[in-house]
Amino acid sequence: MENKKKILLLTTGGTIASVAGADGLEPHRSGVMERELNQLRTYYDITVKDVMCLDSSNIRPEEWQTIAACVFVERTGFDGVVISHGTDTMAYTASAVTFMLPNIDIPVVFTGSQLPLADILSDGPDNLRTAFAMAASGRPGVFLAFDRKVMRGCRAVKVRASGFSAFESVNARYAGVVSNRGLVLNEQILQPVSGEAELRTQISNSVFLLKLTPGLNPKIFDMLSALGYKGIVIEAFGLGGINVLSKELASIHRCVEEGISVVVTTQCLYDSSDLRVYQVGNKLLELGVIQGRDMTTEAAMTKLMWALGQGMNPNEIAELFRHSLAGEITEDE
């Protein structure tokens, strides 16, 4: 086949590259991966670069930076990039890399599998085929391909631990789906590039994710402040409810006054947090708390980490969260 699209595959480990070890499945790029790539080479000109070989539970913000930098530096001369990654933290990595690569000018597609490629029933081959098709589409952005669906990286959430339909695009339609017509793209989801591609990997680890529970000891907020956290993401109830009859509001207020950015999202996977609906939410807005709106928890966390890493102050961060950088929130009409 002439004029094959040139695709760069960056491997990072994960189940897709795992083989059985003495203590269970271990990431290890093997000849099985090569077998699948040889089939794909019928359609694509593939270059492989092994970036790391880790279970995704061991991938930290430092690895996000490494992956983003590798994409930015190595992308020259390629039509697209595929990144094989473990599924457990892939949504975090895909969200973080989205913010680290503003205006990326080629498709960057994360994928993985629930069963290793070495398993005859693995979902890996299908996921790789979908990812490569999206990488060859010419549509720039950071995406996640799984179970014949393509979604924005900053909208993906892992919703199943073992089922093949492991990821959902939360509060946003799929960027593409595989059907009997091939890869069908949703033009309303795909965004045009609005400037020069940049690499901005600075990120802060001083962000804490707190799941609100009834009767939570409000001293946790004082402890987070004392530990030096600069950002807190709160998964609140429903539309963003927090107990206004306790001392929680006073503790949150102290955090905001100390310059800590507090973002409130919802524990409900779908729909949006809207602090304007109930009294409890309006009290939070009065304190200077930031609405997470319909962002995923992964996107809210990584966007706040990224914003702090860019040196933004609380007012700048609050303004940043009012706007979509890469489709991570649905902006008001």
Q: What is the CATH number of the domain that holds 76?
A: 3.40.50.1170
Model confidence pLDDT, tens digit, residues 101-127: 999 999 999 999 999 888 889 999 999
Please state the length of the chain.
333
3-state helix, strand, coil in the chain (%, to 5): 30, 25, 45
pLDDT at 43 over 70: yes
- 150 in the same domain as 45: yes
Q: What does the block give as tokens for 83?
A: 């990144």
| Measured distance CA(318)–CA(322) in Å, rounded | 7
pLDDT at 280 > cutoff 60: no
In a domain, 21, yes or no: yes
Q: 11 with 144, same domain? A: yes
Domain that holds residue 255: 207-320
60: in domain? yes
Which long-range contacts does 221-228 make (Cβ < 8 Å, 24+ apart)? 221/248, 221/251, 221/252, 221/254, 221/255, 222/251, 222/254, 224/255, 224/260, 225/254, 225/255, 225/258, 225/260
- Domain of 224: which CATH number? 3.40.50.40
Share of the chain above pLDDT 70, in %: 87
Residue 22: pLDDT band with limits 50, 70, 90: low
Alpha-carbon distance of 304 to 158, in angstroms, equals 20
- Tell whether 192 is covered by a domain: no
pLDDT at 241: 47
Q: Is the pLDDT of residue 276 over 80?
A: no
In a domain, 196, yes or no: no
* pLDDT above 50 for 333: no
Same domain, 159 and 298: no
Query: Residues with catalytic annotation?
Result: 15
236/313 same-domain check: yes
Pair (222, 287) in one structural domain: yes
pLDDT of 24 reads: 57
Residue 177 three-state SS: strand
pLDDT tier at 271 (50, 70, 90 boundaries)?
Answer: low
145-184: pLDDT as tens digits: 999 999 999 999 999 998 999 999 999 999 999 999 999 9
